[in-house]
Amino acid sequence: MRLEDLNTVVRVLKREVQQWPVPAIAKYIETPFTVLISCLLSLRTQDRTTVAASDRLFAIARNPRTTLATPVSVIEKAIYPVSFYRVKARTIHEICRGLLDRFHGEVPSTIDELLTLPGVGRKTANIVVTLAYGKAGIAVDTHVHRISNRLGYVRTSTPDKTEMALRKKLPPRYWIVFNDLLVAYGQNLCKPISPMCSKCKIAQLCKRVGVKTSR
């Protein structure tokens, strides 16, 4: 894909995504801690469930100290029914303990430091550094991975490999916004199975890699 085509894709997507709700994680950018925890809750969980669970949890505790003081059983009840809610409740406690013991209660601002926290992978780390700290990063989830490959912009087999490929190829000015655009587009139109290509405003620029059926 040529740079001018990529510019067109980004410009069109910025316009198109305005018709859909803001992704759940973008609702909790008040502090780095709320970004981190809401991102953890969102893993393998629908946005509606993530929003409700985040609201309930943050009504109880909004920082590492008060969250660690909250019993795991109470956190479980607050975040249910997010996927793996029992595991996530324990992980939240472990994260808070790590933040208090090793980072003076502050969420670190580098990917390498974030990756030392329990349950934090590259996607979550990139979301924290971009949304919470406004630093360069490329958060790659299943939507970003799928659509980047479907467009023919990269050819990769995993989200982590997609992140590395995008770091080499994607212009820095698009790094932070790329996740928001492709997540919203993937959730609402460019579905994993049978994407709605007939309604897609960037269809003429898409190579439709791996698409066998569409609507």
**Domain 24-132 top-level CATH class:** mainly alpha
Q: What does the pLDDT read at residue 5?
A: 96
Q: What does the pLDDT read at residue 22?
A: 80
Q: What does the pLDDT read at residue 21?
A: 84
Beta strands in the chain (DSSP E): none
Q: Where are the domains of the chain?
A: 3-22+138-205, 24-132
Cα–Cα distance between 149 and 169 in angstroms, integer? 13
Cα–Cα distance between 82 and 46 in angstroms, integer? 8
Q: What does the pLDDT read at residue 23?
A: 79
Which residue numbers in the chain have pLDDT < 70?
none
Cα–Cα distance between 215 and 195 in angstroms, integer? 6
Cα–Cα distance between 146 and 140 in angstroms, integer? 10
User: What is residue 21's three-state secondary structure?
Assistant: coil
Cα–Cα distance between 133 and 35 in angstroms, integer? 10
- What is the per-residue pLDDT across 24-78, written as a single tens digit (0 to 9) for each? 888 899 999 999 999 999 999 999 999 999 999 999 999 999 999 999 999 999 9
What's the CATH fold of domain 3-22+138-205? Endonuclease Iii, domain 2 (1.10.1670)
What Rg, from alpha-carbon coordinates, does the chain have?
18
CB 76 within 8 A of CB 67: no
* Cβ-based neighbours of 99, under 8 Å, separated by 6 or more: 33, 64, 105, 106, 107, 117
